[in-house]
């Protein structure tokens, strides 16, 4: 079937992606723009200017979130919020999070250029520190906005000893003003996020965009193993308390656990490992590593968690070690609101798009927002499923289709009247206070 002509401005989107990629550039296609870094602030200022160009009132709140807003005909109604994040991993591409923020701006700017006035307010958000790689705890800004931060988060330090509190103050946030930046219940009625898939499903199906039905629940740990340092040449193998040997056993075991059920979407990863004293001829005394375990089936993930804890105890005992586990993140799977999924389906049908429906393994700001309001997500195909890598790539054409679908969905969700014709579409009624839907 013939696809509709685009309403949004594809060239503007593509140009802005390129401009943003120049901030924190590490290679021809690679970006390093860590949360709350000077590069992150520079990017926020650039995006702030685009929000203002689109007609939004813009602020950076106490959590470091960049939020733009246009008022609707009913200024007191719950808003429709669109957005994602602009911080990146240390070895990243140009699209993860970015297309969701720029897509949100493009939606609002297209409203303005077409003379459309939404029935309810529309907000565009670039949330602070979605990635979580700098302070080992992600979704900071989106969780802060809805009052879900945990004790001690501001004292978490990066690899250089800089705490989140220090970085946030340098960025322009203010922990003393958290209460005034937190949203009260019901301020946002629905959240919609555009994002690259970060996986190979859409490409394997030959489809440029897809509809997300839910997000797998991530479990993040930081594990410390403590042994005893000794000379690598003189301590017999049976007498060693080698922390790295214990860690190796756990890492291999995690791979086996996560792969144990054929066809299951379970994934387990150790992505960061630090060894002390880190010398060629000293037996490692301490090892710290991260664990990332995810599954859409919470019961299966819970069972694997129990087995992994038992494995850590066994490996520690076998190597004469003590072990400490710190839980950094623990979220159950969260399913998209069926009303929003159905709205995306309707918008895709108008565009003559065949859109598959799929789960998200990675978490997103939508995961945090799911505890506050209804949410939905749109995925855009990425080449070979590559992400968190400079080779990450989504074509301008696919991004444009995803943004057009975002625009048409937003139009249906918020309702709009034309200043020229006064024709109006009624907005959907939103569910405030938490939009978790029952899973299949």
In tens, the pLDDT along 288-334 reads 999 999 998 999 999 999 999 999 999 999 999 999 999 988 988 99
Domain chopping of the chain, boundaries = 10-215+333-425, 217-330
> What crossing angle do the helices spanning 10-21 and 396-414 adopt, rounded to 10°?
110
> With contact defined as beta carbons under 8 Å apart, do 251 and 400 qualify?
no
**What integer pLDDT is reported at residue 362 of this predicted model?**
86
Q: Is the pLDDT of residue 184 over 60?
A: yes
Give 53-100 pLDDT, tens digit per residue.
999 999 999 999 999 999 999 999 999 999 999 999 999 999 999 999
**What integer pLDDT is reported at residue 287 of this predicted model?**
98
Q: How confident is the model at residue 1 (pLDDT cuts 50, 70, 90)?
A: very low
Distance CA 64, CA 66 (A): 6
Q: Is the pLDDT of residue 11 over 90?
A: yes
**What integer pLDDT is reported at residue 429 of this predicted model?**
53
Q: Is the pLDDT of residue 7 over 90?
A: yes
Q: Is the pLDDT of residue 438 over 70?
A: no
Q: What is the CATH number of domain 10-215+333-425?
A: 3.40.630.10
Q: Is the pLDDT of residue 135 over 70?
A: yes
> With contact defined as beta carbons under 8 Å apart, do 109 and 11 qualify?
no
Q: Is the pLDDT of residue 420 over 70?
A: no
**What integer pLDDT is reported at residue 380 of this predicted model?**
98
Mean pLDDT over the full length of the chain: 93
Query: How many percent of the chain have pLDDT more than 90?
Result: 89
Distance CA 87, CA 382 (A): 19
Q: Is the pLDDT of residue 425 over 60?
A: no
Q: Is the pLDDT of residue 436 over 90?
A: no
pTM of the model: 0.84
Binding residue numbers for Zn(2+): 85, 96, 131, 195, 388
10-215+333-425 and 217-330: identical CATH topology:
no
Q: Is the pLDDT of residue 402 over 70?
A: yes
3-state SS record for the chain:
CCCCCCCCCHHHHHHHHHHHHCCCECCCCCECCCCCCHHHHHHHHHHHHHHHHCCCEEEECCCCCEEEEECCCCCCCCEEEEEEECCCCCCECCCCCHHHHHHHHHHHHHHHHCCEEECCCEEEEEECCCCCCCCCCCCHHHHHHCCCCCCCHHHCECCCCCEHHHHHHHHCCCHHHHHHHCCCCCCEEEEEEEEECCCCHHHHHCCCEEEEEEECEEEEEEEEEECECCECCCCCHHHCECHHHHHHHHHHHHHHHHCCCCCCCCEEECCCEEEECCCCCECCCEEEEEEEEEECCHHHHHHHHHHHHHHHHHHHHHCCCEEEEEEEEECCCEECCHHHHHHHHHHHHHCCCCCCEEEECCCCHHHHHCCCEEEEEEEECCHHHCCCCCCCCCCHHHHHHHHHHHHHHHHHHHCEEECCCCCEECCCCCCECCCCECCC
- For residue 370, give Cα distances in angstroms to 75, 179, 332, 337, 434: 23, 20, 11, 9, 6
**What integer pLDDT is reported at residue 331 of this predicted model?**
85
Binding residue numbers: 85, 96, 131, 195, 388
**What integer pLDDT is reported at residue 4 of this predicted model?**
62
- For residue 222, give Cα distances in angstroms to 91, 291, 292, 304, 320: 21, 6, 9, 17, 20
**What integer pLDDT is reported at residue 431 of this predicted model?**
45
261 Cβ contact list (under 8 Å, min separation 6): 300
**What integer pLDDT is reported at residue 194 of this predicted model?**
98
Q: How confident is the model at residue 418 (pLDDT cuts 50, 70, 90)?
A: low
Give 25-59 pLDDT, tens digit per residue.
999 999 999 999 999 999 999 999 999 999 999 99
Among residues 424, 435, 18, 401, which one has the least CA distance to residue 210? 401
- For residue 197, give Cα distances in angstroms to 90, 205, 358, 367, 382: 19, 13, 10, 15, 6
Contacts 24+ apart (CB under 8 A), 299-303: 300/261, 300/264, 300/266, 301/217, 301/219, 301/266
**What integer pLDDT is reported at residue 263 of this predicted model?**
87
**What integer pLDDT is reported at residue 373 of this predicted model?**
97
Q: Is the pLDDT of residue 177 over 80?
A: yes
Arithmetic mean of pLDDT, 372-388: 97
- For residue 322, give Cα distances in angstroms to 75, 223, 285, 314, 318: 57, 11, 11, 11, 10
Question: What's the fold here for domain 217-330?
Answer: Alpha-Beta Plaits (3.30.70)
Tell me the pairing of strands 322-330 and 217-226: antiparallel
Distance CA 311, CA 308 (A): 5
**What integer pLDDT is reported at residue 254 of this predicted model?**
98
Distance CA 377, CA 364 (A): 10
């Amino acid at each position: 079937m013939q696809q509709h002509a685009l309403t949004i401005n594809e060239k503007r989107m593509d140009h802005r992606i390129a401009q943003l990629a120049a901030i924190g550039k590490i290679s021809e296609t690679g970006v390093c723009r860590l949360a709350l870094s000077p590069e992150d602030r520079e990017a926020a200022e650039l995006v702030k200017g685009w929000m203002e160009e689109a007609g939004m009132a813009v602020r950076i709140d106490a959590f470091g979130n960049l939020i733009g807003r246009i008022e609707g005909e009913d200024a007191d109604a719950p808003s429709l919020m669109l957005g994602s994040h602009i911080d990146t991993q240390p070895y990243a591409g140009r699209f993860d999070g970015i297309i969701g923020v720029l897509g949100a701006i493009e939606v609002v700017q297209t409203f303005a250029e077409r003379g459309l006035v939404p029935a309810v307010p529309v907000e565009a958000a670039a949330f602070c520190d979605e990635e979580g790689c700098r302070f080992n705890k992600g979704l900071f800004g989106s969780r802060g906005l809805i009052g879900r931060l945990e004790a001690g988060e501001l004292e978490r330090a990066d690899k250089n000893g800089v705490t989140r509190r220090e970085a946030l103050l340098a960025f322009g946030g203010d922990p003393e003003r958290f209460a005034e930046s937190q949203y009260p219940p019901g301020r946002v009625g629905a959240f919609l996020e555009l994002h690259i898939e970060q996986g190979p499903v859409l490409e394997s199906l030959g489809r440029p965009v897809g509809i997300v039905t839910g997000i797998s629940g991530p479990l993040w740990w930081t594990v410390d193993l403590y042994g005893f340092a000794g000379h690598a040449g003189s301590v017999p193998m049976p007498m060693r308390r080698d922390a790295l040997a214990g860690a190796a056993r756990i890492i291999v075991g995690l791979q086996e656990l996560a792969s144990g059920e054929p066809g299951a979407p379970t994934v387990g990863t150790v992505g960061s490992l630090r060894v002390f004293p880190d010398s060629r001829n000293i037996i490692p005394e301490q090892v710290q590593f991260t664990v990332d375990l995810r599954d859409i089936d919470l019961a299966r993930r819970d069972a694997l968690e129990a087995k992994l804890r038992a494995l850590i105890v066994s490996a520690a005992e076998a190597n004469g070690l003590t072990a400490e586990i710190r839980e950094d993140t623990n979220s159950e799977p969260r399913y998209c609101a069926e009303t929003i999924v159905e709205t995306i389906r309707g918008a895709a049908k108008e565009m003559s798009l065949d859109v598959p429906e799929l789960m998200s393994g990675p978490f997103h700001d939508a995961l945090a927002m799911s505890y506050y309001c209804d949410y939905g997500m749109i995925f855009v195909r990425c080449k070979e499923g590559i992400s968190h890598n400079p080779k990450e790539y989504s074509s301008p054409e696919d991004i444009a289709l995803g943004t057009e679908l975002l625009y048409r969905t937003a139009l249906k969700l918020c309702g709009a009247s034309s200043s020229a014709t006064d024709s109006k579409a009624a907005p959907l009624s939103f569910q405030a206070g938490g939009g978790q839907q029952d899973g299949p």
